[in-house]
Every structure is written in C-alpha cells, then in structure tokens.
Amino acid sequence: MHLPAFVRRLGLLLRGRRAERELAQEMELHLELLEGQLREQGLDPREARRQARIAFGSRESLRAEARDAPGFVRTRELLEDVRHSLKSLSRNPGFALVAVAVLAMGIGATIAIFSVLSAMLLRPVPFPDGQRIVSLAWNHGDTVSPSLSSAKFAYWREHTSSFVAIGSWQPFFGRVGEPGEVTGAQGLRVTDGFFRVLGTPPTVGRAFSAEEHRSGGPPVALVSPDFWRMHFGESVDVSGRVSVRVEEERYAVVGLLPEGFTFPYVARPVEIVIPTEVFVDPEDEAQNWTTLARLDVGVAMRDARTEVVWLNHGFKAAYPQQAGEPEPGMMLGSFGELYAGRTANAIWILMGAVAAVLLIACANVGSLFLARALRRRRELAIHNALGATEGRIIRLGVVEALVVASAAGAIGAVFAVWGAGALVVLAPVRLPLTGAIAVDWRVGVFAIGISLAASVAVGLIGAWPGVRGGPWKALRRDSRTTTGSGRLQEALVSGQAALSMILLVGAGLLFTTWSNLRQVDPGFDPNALVAVQLPIRPPTYDTSERLERFARGVIEAVRAGGAGIVAGASSLPFERGLNFPISIAGRGEFGGSVELRTVTPGYFRTLAIPLIRGRSFTAMDVRGAVPVAIVNETFARRYFPGGDAIGQRIDLGRRGNVYRYPSLKGPGIVIVGVAADVQDVSFRTAVRRTLYLPQAQAPDVIAGIRPTLPVFVVRSSQPLERIERGFREAILTVDPALPGPRVFPLSETVADSLARERFGTILVSLFGALALILTVVGVYSTLAQAVRVRRREIGIRMAVGANGDAVLRLIVVRGLTPVAIGIGFGLVGAVVLSGLLEAYLWGVTGTDAGTLGMAAVGILGVAAIACWIPAREAARVDPARVLSSS
C-alpha cells in the first residue's frame, strides 16, 4: 500500500461515525427528491413514497455494502476480530496459557531491566530544570571518579564561567539527639552553592549564609519535615532557637528541607543538612568532594565541556603535585552518565541478555502460532474460499497475537515492577539511580512498544502459511506436506539456538571468573577467623596512646577469658587501610603512597600470614623504643629490588623533601620483617605496597586520620555467640560507655567481596537457563509436529524395510541439524560480542575455547534429549496401521 493511500484510509477510518451519518443523509436526500419526482408524475404521496423506496433499493443492505467498501470504517470489524480471537483462544486454553506465559516472561524481564536503566540514565535528576544539572568528574584514565580533591574542586569553582553555581556534598550518617535518646540520621555536609545548583531552596526558613559556610561560623542546620515532627512535634520554629545535637555539637535549625527531599546516590532520605567549607590543601589528594554544577542560561553542554577540559592545563601548572600521573583530567558529563559508569555498562549487558530472551520467546510463541496455523490450514483455506480475504486472515492472526501479547505485556509489567525492585534490593552494589524505580511514561511507552513489536513478530510468523501458500494450494495439498513453513520453523529453532549459545557462553565466562576468583589464595586463612568491630569512635579516643590502651585492655581481657588467639589492627583485611605517603631514608625522591595498617603483636600469627624474613612485632616494640615496621613482599620488591629490606629505614609522611606532617620528622622507621603478600583489598586488585606499624608506636597523626576504633581478629573454634559475649564483657571492663561490638566470621567478608561477581553470574545464568529451556521446548515441539505430519512417510519407509533404529537416527539428525546450525551462528556471535564482557572477566578470556565448547555441547545434549522423545515415537510407528488409516 502506498503511503498516500494509507493516509487516506486512515482518514476515512478516523472519520468513522461521521462518514456513516453523511451516507445516511445523502440517501435520505435522494429518496426525498425521488419521491418529489414521482409525485409530480401524478402519484399520490403514499404511493410515491412506496415506489421511491422500491426504486432505491434496501437502504440497510446498501449501507452495509458501503461499509464493506475497502477503506470504509473498520472499527467494528476490528472489535469482531478481537472477539473472535478471544473465542478461539479460549477454545484452546492450554495454548493460550503457554503463549501468554512465555511472552510475559520475556516482556517482563525486558521491562524490568529497562526500568532500572531508565532510572539510572534516562531520567533527569528530580530537581527543577534537572537537565541543566551536570557533574564534574576526574578521569584517571582507567576509571572516572565523580569525587574530587579539595584543590580540584576549588580550582574549577574559581575559574569556570559556564555555571550559575557549583557545589559539592559529602554524605554522613551521624548520631543525632540528646544523650540517652541518640538515633542515627542520614545527613549531608554541603558547600556554598549546593542548593543553588539543585534549585530547591528550603520551603520553610532560610538557606545558609556565606558566613555559616565558613568554618568557625555559627553552627546551623536544615532538617527534613519528618525529622522535625519526630523530634520536635507539630509546631515549627525555624528562628534558630531550637537546636539539634549531631555527634558532640549543637546546630541551630534555621529551615526545613522541601517535603520528600531525596538526594540521588544517598541511600536513605536526607534528614539533616549542615553547611561546610572546602579546605583547600594542595597536598591532599583524597577525592572527597562530589561535585555538581548548574549550567548558566544560554550555555550549551558542549561549550561548558570545552571550557572545563581546557582548564586542565592551568590546574596542572598550579598544582603540579596533583598532576604528576598522566591523567587525562577533568571532564563534564550528565549526572547519570558519570555516576552510573561501570554499573550502567553492566546493566546494558543485562539489557542485551533479556532482549535475547525476549527474541527467543517471540520465536517460540511464533512457532506455536505457526504450528497451530498449519493444523488449522484447511479451516483457514475454507474461510478464505468462503470470501474472507487473505489480508483478513493475516489480520486475524495478528489480532490474535496482539491479544496474547497485550495480556503478556500486562502480566509482564506487573512482574517487572516487582522484579526491578528486587534487583535493586538484591544487587550487592548500590545502583546509582536518580530516584526510586518507577513506572513513568518512559517505562510505559517502552512496555507498550515492546508488546506491540512482539505481537507483530508473533503474528507474522503465525500467518506465514496463509501468506505463502494461498488458499487453493492449501486446500489442494493435504496437511501432510510442510515445505515452506517447515523451513521457517527450522530457521526459528536455529535462531533460538544461536541466541541461547551467546547467553550460555556469557554465563559460562562469568561463572569461570567467579570460581577463579574464589580460588585465589587471599594470603591468610579466613577459616575460623572472627572479626570484631565497634560501630563508633567516641571523640575521647583521640591519641594513639589511648587507642593502644583500649586495644591492649580488650585483648588482655579476652585472652584471660580463653577465647583463643587474638590480635588488634587498624582495619580488617578486605577493608581499605590508610593511603599514606612515604619515602626511603637516604633517597631524596618521593617514594609514593602505600597502604598503612597498624597492628598489635600477634597479628600475623592470628591471621596465619607467613613471615618471609626477619621478625614479627613483640611487646617490646613500644613508644620510646626504636620505631620499627614490617613490610609486605610487594613493598620489598618495589623499593629494594635484589637487595635486603631488613635494616632499611622509612621516612613516614615525607614527599621528597617536604614533610606532610612536621611531627613525623625523625630518624626514620627501621624495617625488621617482610611478611607474605595478602589480598587485602579484593581478589581482583593487585596487592598493594603495604606497611605495617606496631599499634603501640603509631604516630598520633595516624590516630587522628583513621576515624574508627581498632578492630580485633580472633582465631577460635568457639561459637560466635560465645566470642561475642567474651568481647562484650571485655569492652565493658575497659570502657563501660562503649556500645556492644559487631562480631562476624571473616570468611563472610571474603565471600562478600565476591558478591558482585556472584550476583552477575546468577543473573546471566538465570537468563541463559530461561533461553535454554525455551529453545529446547521449541526444538521439541517443532520435531514432534514434524513427526506427526510425516507419520505416513515414516510408515512407508518402515514398510519397505527401514528398521526402527534407522528411523530414530533419521529423526534425531533432522531435529538436531537446525540446532547445530544455530550453535554455529551463536559461536560466531559470542566471539564477536566477547569484547563487551572482557572488563568483567578474570583469569579467562572472552573467547575461551573450553567455555564455548561446553556451551555448544550443553545445548546439543539437551536438544538431543528433546529430540529423543518424538524420535522414539516415530520409531514405534506401526506401518500397517498408518497406511490403512489413510
């Protein structure tokens, strides 16, 4: 159909009732004029009327005829088609149920992943004119970090002219409330400009003044309306007379946050906001300032981008110490883009996986429709012969598919909402969403679009025999021959096998990665190791000596209780230590930043970390004695390649000839031992250069930086509850004001560090399994139908001497051929697509022959089982009965 014709028909269709009314009026006018003419010829009015009607013909049937004119209003017919489809589907509820269920699975999974993607990338941030809010991030080359160092933040704030405002925030979870009724609250520390970027000033009260943002300025806070109600009741007073205690300080409440204020990337609703200042420290490389900016009116993203990148030169000249590494530098992106980053790539891959599942589902249901259409071919041919046009028959098929797909879409959408929620909750990383997962217009349009696409695909596949054969051919041929449509069915099976292959290879690669990582030796023995952590550090524990006294006290008390081997440390394995600059004594140049951990004597023994050379820490390594250190192998290799690390000295905190903290100046720390490497951050990352210091000799500077109390590790066979009780009592004897500790097996932490890999593996395996099941069902139903159709041929073959085994072989080969072809295509596809997955793999390449082979053999094996059942049935065909029955 040409486009103008289509538009014209559409116009007629839309005019609907009006066209019918016009026709009726036209006919009435004609009748009136005819009557008038007859009256003029001398007939009396009644007779004139009668004769006019006879001459005109039946208006009812003429109207019906006009309605049947091609392109005339078809709405009623369409409704009839829907009714007809519902009737024919309800005659075969099993078929309808399977078709709806399979499609619902595919559609639902696709919508679920899409709604996550939408919330992550497509939706603007939930603030006024949100698309003008952009994010500044530092491109390290291999990663992009949306958090900036103080110097970077300050430099760009000062030098850019593209933005109305630029602001930064740090989330915190603090203890809020008067002593005795302290609760935890989600808070944000924000810089001047933060609320101007968001464009949401407080609804009650006022925003912070410039003075309040300066350190030493009046302590003030904004709180959420809910927070106010919970702590202060219904009447609101934001004059500053009411104050709220956060940690140890009081903040006067000067305003309320907008109702329902949520901030993306902070897990809970924000309850309290406190102003802060950015202290510019050229030496401080900690990337702690997450930064947003609002584009000025009339400034295009492209221009702002150019300016931001251009400023890199100036920054590197002003802060050479922060530009040492060959970093590409600052970049500008949309809020979602920069936050979602790697996670978004993973979700895109999942989207690809579910799209493959949906395609398989469509092919599968399409083949069900096709098989049914073949069974009903005679019926359709008779319809056709009786006057239903070919177009009408195809349309009937598409309408039927539409009914099925609409039901599947509706069911799928419900499950999708639920599934997407579950995905967000179960995901081991907090997904960088711009708000809650919601069914907004994007998701709605997507759901409807995808259901329509699915119904068209299914309907066209199902209508194939009608299109290809034409009615007369179908009537002439009996139902025993299946040439064209048989080939289509085989092509569909091949397609399904190819997509399954790709999904299974992906699942296999992720599984291999996961199991590889699980086999990495962490360098310590996590079994029977229990970690003990205190949730807070009271401000009274501000010096190294106090921390040491606390640690020693607890360890002694626990030992007295006979808990087992105990040690303390500044942080647990698989938890980041402190990133600290060092230089080697006697060498002028800056050594670099290393991982710093302070530990008590017995740490290495407790974790079973082998000491390669030298000695461990002892009770003699205390303040006043010679300061000592133990380094790991990686450290020793890096700084003393080929030489001996023992006896060498380290200058803590020295960068070249500058001391970061003057109090650290001294004769240096002597290395007394080299410990084996430990996978201390994660299994994936390379071991970092690590420096261990005795807790008793740790400088106060370090105590000041590390915001936690020491943690403890126990190697013990006692039950967890007993260990917990032991520690609770021990801590009470040292400081009764401290809360109870969190006690958990360290093996849990180790397993948690693989949670991301495990989750990805489970999800992709789930989709792979779905794909495989659908494909196998497709293989089975296609072959079973072919066997049914070819019973006669099989009977003849057996009558002329073929034995059951030969028939069995024939059928199995026939069934597996399209599967094998599909696997071939899938193999090529998997190799082509392997690059996408490469970043998520570890210890296995994307084109791993073993995985490809396993997937191929797996699909072929399961398909062979599916072929076996119809093949065995074929082998049991009784030639005499088949031949006599026809």
Give the residues lining the site for another protein (CB under 8 A): 4-5, 8-9, 12, 22-23, 26-27, 29-30, 33-34, 54-59, 62, 65-66, 68-72
Q: Which is nearer to another protein, 30 or 809 (CB)?
A: 30
Closest CB to another protein among 62 and 828? 62
Q: Which residues contact 328 (CB under 8 A, 6 or more apart)?
A: 139, 140, 141, 312
Among residues 38 and 532, whose Cβ is nearest to another protein? 38
Nearer Cβ to another protein (30/623): 30
Characterise 598 by phi-psi region: left (phi > 0), alpha (psi -120 to 50), beta (else).
beta
Q: Is 245 helix (H, G, I), strand (E, B) or coil?
A: strand
Residue 633 CA, chain-centre distance (Å), reads 38
Pick from 429, 498, 273, 457: nearest CA to 367: 457
Phi-psi region of 804 (alpha: psi -120 to 50; beta: other; left: phi over 0): alpha
102 CB-near residues (< 8 Å, 6+ apart): 361, 364, 365, 408, 774
Q: How far is the CB of 59 from another protein (least distance, A)?
A: 6
Whichever of 26 and 542 has its CB closer to another protein, that residue is 26
Return d(Cα 353, Cα 330) in angstroms, integer: 34
Distance between CA 775 and CA 495 in Å, rounded? 9
| Residue 38 Cβ vs another protein, minimum distance, rounded to whole Å | 12
Task: Please state, in angstroms and as integers, the Cα–Cα distance from residue 179 to each residue in 248, 249, 267, 757, following that order.
Answer: 10, 12, 26, 43
Shortest reach from residue 48's CB to another protein, in Å: 14
Type of residue found at 349:
I
Contact predicate 191/276, CB 8 Å = yes
- CB-count exposure of residue 533 (10 Å: 0-12, 13-18, 19+): middle
Between 4 and 562, CB nearer to another protein: 4
**Smallest distance from another protein to CB 386, Å:** 12
Cβ proximity to another protein, 55 vs 97, nearer residue: 55
What does the DSSP 8-state code read for residue 125? P
User: Hey, how many other C-beta atoms are within 10 angstroms of the C-beta on 313?
Assistant: 11
DSSP 744-766: EEHHHHHHHTTHHHHHHHHHHHH
CA distance 388 to 379: 12
Query: What tokens were used for 885?
Result: 């029955």
For residues 69 and 267, which CB has a smaller minimum distance to another protein in the complex? 69
Classify 617 as helix, strand or coil. Answer: coil
CB of 37 to another protein, least distance (A): 9
Give CA separation, 313 vs 158, 267, 333, 430, 606, in Å: 15, 36, 19, 35, 50
- Smallest gap from Cβ 36 to another protein, in A, equals 10
23 or 382, CB closer to another protein? 23
Least Å distance between CB 51 and another protein? 11
CA 282-284-290 angle, to 5 degrees, is 105
Contact (Cβ atoms closer than 8 angstroms) between residue 775 and residue 360: yes
CB of 467 to another protein, least distance (A): 23
* CB 266, CB 171: distance < 8 Å: yes
Q: Strand pairing partners for 186?
A: 173
Q: How far is the CB of 35 from another protein (least distance, A)?
A: 12
Cβ-contact 583, 660 below 8 angstroms: no
Q: Which is nearer to another protein, 22 or 247 (CB)?
A: 22
Closest to another protein by CB, 8 or 587? 8
The secondary structure of 369-384 as a DSSP string is HHHHHHHTHHHHHHHH
Q: How far is the CB of 34 from another protein (least distance, A)?
A: 7
What CA–CA distances, in Å, run from 698 to 620, 623, 701?
A: 14, 8, 8
Is the Cβ of residue 27 or residue 831 nearer to another protein in the bound state? 27
- Residues 769 and 781: their CA atoms lie apart, in Å, by 18
- Write down the least CB distance from residue 398 to another protein, Å: 22
| Shortest separation between residue 367's beta carbon and another protein, angstroms | 37
Give the whole-angstrom CA distance, residue 376 versus residue 399. 16
Q: How far is the CB of 2 from another protein (least distance, A)?
A: 9
**For 427-540, where are the alpha helices, taking DSSP H only?**
441-469, 471-476, 483-519
> What is the distance between the alpha carbons of residues 265 and 262, in angstroms, rounded to a whole number?
9
32/44 with CB nearer another protein: 32
Closest to another protein by CB, 23 or 773: 23
- H, E, C per residue of 253-314: EEEECCCCCCCCCCCCCCCEEEECCCCCCCCCCCCCEEEEEEECCCCCHHHHHHHHHHHHHH
- We find the least distance from the C-beta atom of residue 61 to another protein, in angstroms, to be 9
Residue (70 or 428) nearer to another protein, CB: 70
Task: Give whichever of 64 and 300 is closer to another protein, judged by the CB atom.
Answer: 64
Question: Cβ closer to another protein: 5 or 813?
Answer: 5
Contacts of 129 (CB under 8 A, 6+ apart): 199, 294
Minimum gap (Å) between residue 385 Cβ and another protein = 14
| Contact present, 713 and 532 (Cβ < 8 Å) | yes
Indicate the residue among 26 and 838 with the shorter CB distance to another protein.
Answer: 26
Smallest gap from Cβ 5 to another protein, in A, equals 6
Rounded to 5 degrees, φ, ψ at 737 are -80, -10
Distance in Å, CB of 14 to another protein, minimum: 13
Question: Distance between CA 345 and CA 170 in Å, rounded?
Answer: 26
Minimum distance, C-beta of residue 57 to another protein, in the bound complex (Å): 2
Please report, for residues 314, 503, 779, the alpha-carbon distance to residue 829 in angstroms, rounded to integers and kept in the order given. 47, 10, 20
